[in-house]
Amino acid sequence: MNNPLVDKSETPFNTPPFSIIKNEHFKPGIEQLIKDAKTEIDTIVAQEGTPNFHNTIEALEKAGKQLDRASSIFFNLNSAETNDEIQSIAKEVSPLLTEFSNDILLNEGLFAKVKTVHDTIDTSALNTEQKTLLAKTYKGFVRNGALLNSNQQDQLRKIDVELAQLSLTFGEHVLAETNKYEMVIENETDLVGLPQFVIDQASETAKEKGHKGKWVFTLDYPSYVPFVTYAANRALRKELSIAAGSKAFKGDDLDNQEIVKKIASLRHQRANLLGYETHAHFILEERMAESPEKVMSFLSEIGTYGKGGAERDVNEVAEYAKQLDGIEELQRWDFAYYSEKLKKEKYTIDDEMLKPYFKLEYVIEGVFETAKRLFGLHFIPTKKIDKYHKDVMTYEVKDTRDKHIAVFYADFFPRAGKRAGAWMTSYAGQYKDAEGDHRPLVSIVCNFTKPTSSTPSLLTFNEVTTLFHEFGHALHGMLADGQYESLSGTSVFWDFVELPSQILENWCYEKECLDLFAKHYETGEAIPQHLIQKIKDSANFMEGYQTMRQLSFGMLDMAWHGQDNTELENVADFERSIMSQTDVLPPIPNTNMSCAFSHIFQGGYSAGYYSYKWAEVLDADAFAYFKEKGIFNNETASLFKDNILSKGGSDHPMTLYKKFRGQEPDVKALLKRAGLLKS
Ligand SMILES: [Zn+2]
């Protein structure tokens, strides 16, 4: 059978032939390509000569390229243009792909060759990127237990099975607790302060839950967050806050205390088995931050300066609450409510005032112009590239010398079949081989307000920064200039990947950049300076408090994963001893963060929560350099492009960063930007 996922296609720039790909091609295509990739791996294992970099490491890098292509087409569509059929195919092919990659990591013959290359070749003959590829390939096997004896390997697999089960149960408990709770409101006076759309939503929820004519609030964020932010009724805010904070912490059969202890101990055991001191040491080996010691000193440096700022924030809100409502002691369930009111009072700025200045077409021109001034890129709309939906825009990207750089897809509006949020992805990464330089196919997908017959698409300021953010990731992909696809573009350490995206958001706050595109969609008037100033000022509102909050989560995560907690008895005491270091408000009795901390006990953020702040420091420090030299300064932009954007993961991020900046990132850059440190 002809299958466009398998057959070589003749499309411009080797783009996916979307219009001829049908759902029935996915499963057989991916199965065929897995088979082909297995043959490629078998060939590597079967070859008789001495294993070397070229015939083993490079060959492995090249194996399965078409499978990667087909999977990215499939999973990108499953995110941006899915339907029931694609979703059910995903359930069938995902396990096949997982099994395939597990088989590679457990392939003893293959590891024997990789190990021979790793242990015996003279690496001085390799360039930096090749050394990185060798180390990364070898580590991939070793971190999966390839050096362990068979007893230890069995033990490792047993721990993995148990951990997977515990994470699942943890998540089920949190979900059940979230779903179980409802706060039924019968009195309309209890809704005072809430925006109308929140009230409407609560009335809908009440109908669904069999309380017609009343209002129901739940622990789902879209219900919980507006309530504690806007509801004037203090007792109800308290009730909802306690309910949210005590999820899976009630000593009943949905309690997670024993589970988090078990997860932490097993992770610790697992790390020891693989030769690491703690789980955090294991995780951080493949991070820019490198070690738990570095993460802890990073967090505590921020804490030193942040605490004063957080206390100032809390005092300001407490003062305001006292004045307004005679609140004697400000509690956690008051903070969001009074700080929101205070924010409104201090900065009369809202989405509706700004939106007329952010017409989507202008913002796109603005972000393209920014890329042109900084990196000499030109975005040329093209009709010759096949697309998966008519709303998708396609561009050919060229440099100043008219050289082809990338294909860029932009898919802006929500529709059934697209998941929520905004993201950057690619259909093919950049790499080089004997045929030449294979340029990438990069895409951003968003859910911005659609135009109507009378109004164009007008973005909120938040959507503007989102567009710049995703475009920053896209630049990382488009400007890639490496040898190996697995090290190119956004294939970098996890705490480094947000630098190109977050740094670009900074341009949205600069008059010089806003003047390029922020003009009224009817009158053409440029955005007034006082509005720009308000955007900037309000961005730092309560930054001290927020910083300490993020810090407390990062420290709790490191406490769970950066030491041996096998003997730990009381989860609540343990948590309190950590959180009290950063607290600026009285704790809420009978609540516990760990028992519902899904990021670290269910998702992939264990020993990684610090990276939110880490990424902010990187972008603040890097942008400070641009500010110093001029935000469109060519030399600074070239340094950023040549050392960061084009280099992907070909070298250690700290090395790349120092080449760009001349020094390690400085925490003070973030503290200054956040107004927590006077410059
Ligand atoms: Zn991002």
Closest of 254, 73, 274 to residue 171, by C-alpha: 254
The yes-or-no verdict on residue 1 having pLDDT over 80 is no
- List, for residues 550-560, the tens digit of each pLDDT value: 999 999 999 99
Q: What is the mean pLDDT of residues 585-613?
A: 94
**Model confidence band, residue 176 (pLDDT cutoffs 50, 70, 90):** very high
How far is the C-alpha of 25 from the C-alpha of 38, rounded, in Å? 20
Residue ranges with CB less than 5 Å from ion ligand 1: 501
pLDDT digits (tens, 9 = 90+) for 331-350: 999 999 999 999 989 987 77
Please, what sign has the CA dihedral across residues 93, 96, 102, 108?
negative
pLDDT, position 48? 93
| pLDDT digit string, tens, across residues 317-333 | 999 999 999 999 999 99
What string of DSSP letters covers 209-273?
TT-TTSEEE-SSHHHHHHHHHH---HHHHHHHHHHHHTTT-SSSTT--HHHHHHHHHHHHHHHHH
Asked if residue 443 has pLDDT above 70, the reply is yes
- What are the DSSP E strand ranges found in 57-96? none
Look at residue 679 and tell me whether its pLDDT is greater than 80: no
Q: What average pLDDT does this structure show over 611-622?
A: 97
How far is the centre of ligand 1, averaged over its atoms, from the C-alpha of 358 (Å)? 21
Q: pLDDT by residue (tens digit) across 233-285?
A: 999 999 999 999 999 999 999 999 999 999 999 999 999 999 999 999 999 99
Per-residue pLDDT of 349-389, as tens digits, reads 778 889 999 999 999 999 999 999 999 999 999 999 999 99
Question: Whole-angstrom Cα distance, residue 560 to residue 268?
Answer: 9
| CA atoms within 13 Å, Cβ hemisphere of 650 | 24
Question: Ligand 1: distance of its center to the CA of 599 in Å?
Answer: 16
Residue 569: active-site member? no
Strands of the sheet containing 404-411, edge to edge, are 378-381, 393-398, 404-411, 441-445, 423-428
- Cα dihedral 460, 461, 466, 467 in deg (nearest 10): 80
473 Cα–ligand 1 center, Å: 7
**CA–centroid distance, residue 363 to ligand 1 (Å):** 19
How remote is the CA of residue 44 from the centroid of ligand 1, in Å?
A: 36
Would you say residue 678 has pLDDT above 80?
no
Contact at 8 Å (CB) between 357 and 519?
A: yes
Q: What is the dihedral of CA 308, 312, 315, 316, to 10 degrees?
A: -170
For the chain, what is the total number of helices (H) and then of strands (E)?
Answer: 27, 9
Distance 502 CA to ligand 1 centre (A): 7
Query: What value, to the nearest 5°, has the Cα angle with vertex 266 and ends 265 and 268?
Result: 65
- Distance from residue 474's CA to the centre of ligand 1 (Å): 10
In this prediction, residue 289 has a pLDDT band, given cuts at 50, 70 and 90, of: very high
**How much is the average pLDDT of 519-532?**
94
Q: pLDDT band for position 449 (50/70/90)?
A: confident
CA of 498 to the centre of ligand 1 (A): 5
Q: Model confidence over 407-418: pLDDT tens digits?
A: 999 999 999 999
Predicted confidence (pLDDT) at residue 616 exceeds the cutoff of 90: yes
Predicted local confidence at residue 8, as pLDDT: 86
pLDDT, average across residues 178-206: 95
The residue written with tokens 């050392």 in the block is 643
Banded model confidence at residue 462, pLDDT cuts 50, 70, 90: very high
Distance 426 CA to ligand 1 centre (A): 14
Partners of 425 in the beta sheet?
443
431 in helix, strand or coil? strand
- On the question of pLDDT at 107 being above 80, the answer is yes
**CB-based contact 472:465 (threshold 8 Å):** no
Ligand 1 geometric centre to CA of 79 (Å): 16
CA 637/CA 442 separation, integer angstroms: 21
Q: Are 189 and 226 in contact (CB under 8 A)?
A: no
- What's the CA-to-centroid distance between 501 and ligand 1, angstroms? 6
Tell me the angle at which helices 571-579 and 257-273 cross, rounded to the nearest 10 degrees.
80
Q: What is the pLDDT of residue 479?
A: 98
Buried b (16+ CB within 10 A) or exposed e, 448-460: bbeeeeeeebbbb
Question: Which pLDDT score, from 0 to 100, does residue 78 have?
Answer: 96
Higher pLDDT among residues 69 and 604, named by residue: 69
Please give the distance, rounded to the nearest whole angstrom, from the Cα atom of residue 475 to the centre of ligand 1: 12
The answer to whether 159 and 509 are in contact (CB under 8 A) is no
Altogether, the residues listed in the chain come to a count of 679
Give residue 395 CA to ligand 1 midpoint distance, Å: 22
pLDDT, residue 452, reads: 86
Q: How far is the CA of 466 from the centre of ligand 1 (A)?
A: 9
d(CA 167, CA 601): 6
The C-alpha atoms of residue 83 and residue 79 are separated, in whole angstroms, by: 10
497 CA distance to ligand 1 centroid (A)? 7
Residue among 654, 653, 626, 621 nearest 639 (CA): 626
User: Which candidate in 470, 485, 510, 575 is catalytic?
Assistant: 470
> Is-contact 6 32, C-beta < 8 A?
yes
